[in-house]
Amino acid sequence: MPQQVPGSALYHGNQQKYLRTITQYAIERYNMHIIVGLHNLPGGINGLDIGEAYGHQGWFYNATNLDYSFQAVDAVLNFMKTSGHLNSFTFYPLNEAADNLAGFGGPDALSEKAVDWVLTYMDGVFKKVEALDKRIPVMLQDCFKGPAYWAPLFDASKNLVLDTHIYYNFAPVASADVLPVICSQAASVGSSESKFPIFVGEWSLQTSEKNVLANRKGIFETQRYAWQKNMAGGAFWSAVSYANAAIDGEGAQLDYWSYARLIDQGVITKQTTASYC
């Protein structure tokens, strides 16, 4: 059962126990590198359910919530430290921050005032991470402003990875036409910034129009190839999905967003069987 944290509205259960089991297995069995992220922050980071709850944007400009956030940072770093595999982790301290929900998904999602708040938080994050071990990479999600926006705001000495999310279910494109779009965008984003590595931290197989199940393998392999060729790779979103909402075209959401399901269906294989870029 979840337990209330004394003196706060924050709760926890057995998440760390399960995360420890998963990460230790991945590291010790397969030598995997693990990104541990704070997908939301106290008070709400973007007004959506993925940022805490719909309508919650109380993380911005709130000293109490900033302090809670740093407590969460400490907890993540302690989790890494006590794993016995400290340098098998990257730390991801915030996801898709936005103080302007109307602009969500584009550069206007985060105001300049909010950028300053994010930088205040990131300064504290770096101090804590570097005090533990400077070799731990810190991954900053670009808040839809693009990697090139953030690079000048950090000293080149920082062990920073810039993360960008690329989804084609928000762009006006059909699955039959998306491959050259992927190749072009990968080349463009990859060449936009050279100071820090760029990582595609979220991507999937759904397009906005005319999804075709038979096209999924080509779309997967093109993105896997393009992100590795032009950037520092990427991470599919998500491992498991049960979302059965209808989409434009064949199948349902889970047929384009569930990594485990895609493996079972033979869409994802270890090797890329064709190069599309």
Q: What is the spatial distance between Cα 104 and Cα 232, in angstroms, rounded to a whole number? A: 25
DSSP code of residue 211: B
Whether 143 contacts 118, CB under 8 Å: yes
- The letter for the amino acid at 134 is K
Backbone angles phi, psi at 164, to 5 degrees: -130, 145
Q: Convert the pLDDT of each residue in 209-223 to its tens digit.
A: 999 999 999 999 999
Four-way CATH pick for 12-165: 3.40.50.10540, 3.40.1280.10, 3.10.620.30, 3.20.20.80: 3.20.20.80
DSSP letters, 217-240, are: HHHHHHHHHHHHHHSS-B--S-S-
Q: Convert the pLDDT of each residue in 161-203 to its tens digit.
A: 999 999 999 989 999 999 999 999 999 999 999 999 999 999 9
Q: What is the spatial distance between Cα 12 and Cα 4, in angstroms, rounded to a whole number? A: 7
pTM for this prediction: 0.93
Domain ranges of the chain: 12-165, 168-267
